[in-house]
Structures are given as C-alpha cells and as structure tokens.
Amino acid sequence: MAEFMDVHHGMQGITDEQLQEAHRADRAIETEEGVRFKQAWADPQSGEVYCLSEAPSAEAVMRVHERAGHPADEIHAVPLTT
C-alpha cells in the first residue's frame, strides 16, 4: 500500500485534545476506505496539521478526512522513505 502525507491549513490554535479528537474521527471510519492513519502532527501557531497514512489512493484519504469533517488541503504521495 502507498503512503501519503496530507496537510490541513488554517487550524491556528489547535489544541492537543482537538488534534487527538480529529485523529480519532479519522480512525473510526478509515477501514471503510482501506486507509490506515499512522500519525498526526500539528503546529498551533502556523495552523498547519500533517497526517501520515497508508492508503490505496489519495482519493481514499480525502474521502475519510471529508467524512470526518476536516478535508485536507493537500495530499502528497510519499514514494520513498528511510
């Protein structure tokens, strides 16, 4: 399965609890699209949130985020890792 890094903009002031809540919302429905969210990071000051996932496609990642109520602004394939 491919890995993807997605980015959410405009989430200034996000708290640890809000990040955890959003991640839980994704995890609750991820299997319906064949996605596995691995990790999420946030910078409350810049408002950037990043999520790393394994999925069959970027579209599957987008569908999960949309259904969970926080669509991604960008989704990037991660073809190489170390």
List the domain range (segments joined by +) for residue 68.
2-77
pTM of the predicted protein model: 0.94
Position 57: which residue type?
Answer: S
56-80 pLDDT per residue, tens? 999 999 999 999 999 999 999 999 9
Average the pLDDT over 39-67 and give the result.
98
How many domains are there within the chain?
A: 1
Share of the chain above pLDDT 90, in %: 96
In a domain, 82, yes or no: no
In a domain, 50, yes or no: yes
> Residue written as tokens 């989704």?
75
pLDDT for the residue numbered 32: 98
CATH of the domain at 68: 3.30.70.3090
